[in-house]
Amino acid sequence: MFDAVIVGAGPAGLAAALTLGRAHRTVLLLDAGDGRNAPARAVHNFLTRDGTPTARLRELGREELTAYPAVRIRDETITGVRVLDEGGFHLDSSDGGTASARRLLLATGLADELPGPRGTGELWGRSAFHCPYCHGYECTGKPVAVIGAAPARVRLALQLSRFAADVALCTGGEPLDPASRAKLESNGVTVRCEAVARLEATGDRLDRIVFESGPPLDRDAVFVVNVPRQRSDLAAHLGCASFADGCVEVNEFGRTSVPGVYAAGDMARRATVPMPLAAVVTAAASGTVAGAVIDQDLLAADFDLPDPFAQAKG
Ligand SMILES: Cc1cc2nc3c(=O)[nH]c(=O)nc-3n(C[C@H](O)[C@H](O)[C@H](O)COP(=O)(O)OP(=O)(O)OC[C@H]3O[C@@H](n4cnc5c(N)ncnc54)[C@H](O)[C@@H]3O)c2cc1C
């Protein structure tokens, strides 16, 4: 039985494995493959790693872990998990592998549903984006568009208008309230209200947005609506409390509502945070915290010590 098993070797899981490995805890890190940002060329907005190819960042994390003999990594998809009567957790993987551990950290991330327009999937992470902090800077001085009419889309168009060459808000056939339209237009943002037919591209480079009627709009990048979903159902299977948006509820130390089960990274948030703070550096930070708290949790159990984090509520 391992001290801890971590499901997911993205930034959250890798960071937790580093903390636990350095604490001489036996750790098994299990991973199904690409993380959420795999379609993107590079990771941005991560101090000292800005511009690192996405896959390379994960390789670097794995390379660092080889220095810690207590950490093992297996490339497996976990399909089942159960709480053991004697305490701890048992996991099953899709290729017949099993593992058991005293504590469980879920770091399985999110997957993005892309409701449209047609062509978005092929351009996702390359010239169709969702996050201005991940990809906004690369749009500096370029013609860009924002799809959607909701207040958050209007806000994003205004945000990008500060540094993009030319911003268009494409409502996709949705009406736009007059006050928003006036604010956008007075700040140089074009509004297009026709339904969007498709995105046209050369390879993964966006050329233009084609509408159901009216002329196409040449653009270098488009910010689309994404709908994040839990990538794995392990937390639901264990009965971990979650929010209406699907995020697993954790307290400030990464504890879920199920004793011994922790969660970190994009998949989890605290009640006081309205949305996941979805970024590589914040995922890694939450993994570091969860790793240290798991170590303290085991320390309390093994030496009959008080749990220093017992009072923390979500
Ligand atoms: C297109 C795009 C670009 C982005 N660019 C940036 C950027 O430039 N900068 C930035 O800070 N953030 C960026 N992000 C956000 C960033 O990708 C996430 O915040 C970050 O990856 C979250 O890390 P994580 O460890 O929680 O999850 P992930 O990185 O998604 O890793 C989760 C891991 O869990 C594994 N897993 C899932 N289910 C199972 C299972 N059942 N069994 C075993 N393993 C499993 C997966 O294989 C995966 O490796 C981007 C997001 C997107 C969508």
Per-10-residue mean pLDDT of the chain, 314 residues long, equals 98 98 98 96 96 97 98 98 96 95 98 94 97 96 98 98 97 96 97 97 97 97 97 97 96 96 97 88 97 97 91 52
- Model pLDDT, residue 274: 82
- Model pLDDT, residue 116: 82
State which CATH number among 3.40.50.1370, 3.40.640.10, 3.50.50.60, 3.30.428.10 fits the domain covering 115-223.
3.50.50.60
Matching residue, tokens 């990008």: 160
User: Which atom belonging to ligand 1 lies closest to the Cα atom of 265?
Assistant: 26
Give me ligand 1 centre to Cα 135, in Å.
16
Please tell me whether residue 295 adopts helix, strand or coil conformation: helix
Under CATH, domain 2-112+227-303 is a member of which superfamily? FAD/NAD(P)-binding domain (3.50.50.60)
Task: Evaluate whether 2-112+227-303 and 115-223 have a shared fold.
Answer: yes
Evaluate: CB of 106 within 6 angstroms of ligand 1.
no
Please tell me whether residue 134 adopts helix, strand or coil conformation: helix
Give me ligand 1 centre to Cα 266, in Å.
7
User: Which atom belonging to ligand 1 lies closest to the Cα atom of 30?
Assistant: 43
Evaluate: CB of 9 within 6 angstroms of ligand 1.
yes
Beta-strand (E) ranges in 48-189? 52-53, 71-74, 78-83, 89-93, 98-106, 110-113, 128-129, 143-147, 166-170
Evaluate: CB of 278 within 6 angstroms of ligand 1.
yes
Please tell me whether residue 5 adopts helix, strand or coil conformation: strand
- Give the domain ranges of the chain: 2-112+227-303, 115-223
For residue 69, how many C-alpha atoms fall within 13 Å in the half-sphere facing its CB? 0
Please tell me whether residue 265 adopts helix, strand or coil conformation: helix
**Does the global pTM surpass 0.75?**
yes
- Model pLDDT, residue 311: 63
Give me ligand 1 centre to Cα 137, in Å.
20
Atom 4 in ligand 1: residue holding the nearest Cα:
37
Contact, 169 vs 185, CB < 8 A?
no
